Amino acid sequence: MRRGSVFALLISLGLAIAGSQSMSMSTLAQDATPPSGERAGLPEGVSMVTVASGTIEVLSPGTANLVLGRIRLAPGATYPFDPTNPSVDLVYMTGGTLTFRIEAPMTVARGVKAGTPVPTEPEAIPANTEFSMSDGDSALFPPNTGGELRNDGDEDATAWVTNVSLFTAAASTPTP
């Protein structure tokens, strides 16, 4: 047998052994079930999944906690906003339509639609006004603001949410 043929045979045999080990018929158990990231205690028809999170020191002595997640509301589901929550949420709609009512003025950036070459100016939303967001729309929701979101549609509505919370080591002093 020539040296090249032996070498090719050994490579083929090695690949076959490696492939058969990765396709073993036995089942291997994990040490523990990994957490799903799904939040518990949510209203019926609402699910939130944390995709990534982390903390970073900012403007000493503060630490910011950033969380990237996905929220899904089934048709008819409602989710209230906690007016005592000091975090900020950046929401980007990925499917369906959600209706919001926020107790503070804000703006919504409407997604670019076919035939629109550039995004339009953000839409100003007065406090306590209902507005809808759909695929491609985004908004930055202010802290310490009550309100609610709901899905009035016939299909699930989903959005990516980036939540930013700032924690300080010392008690905050309000500015006059």
Return d(Cα 96, Cα 149) in angstroms, integer: 13
Token pair of 5, please? 């043929």
Check residue 129 and give its pLDDT: 95
Check residue 16 and give its pLDDT: 39
Annotated domain spans of the chain:
46-168
Check residue 175 and give its pLDDT: 54
Check residue 173 and give its pLDDT: 55
Residue 23 has a CB neighbour count (10 Å cut-off) of 7
Check residue 170 and give its pLDDT: 55
CATH number belonging to domain 46-168: 2.60.120.10
Check residue 169 and give its pLDDT: 59
Read off the pTM. 0.69
With vertex at residue 32, the alpha carbon angle to CA 29 and CA 35, rounded to the nearest 5 degrees, is: 125
Check residue 120 and give its pLDDT: 77
Burial class (CB in 10 A: 0-12, 13-18, 19+), 159: buried
In which residue ranges of the chain is pLDDT below 50? 1-37
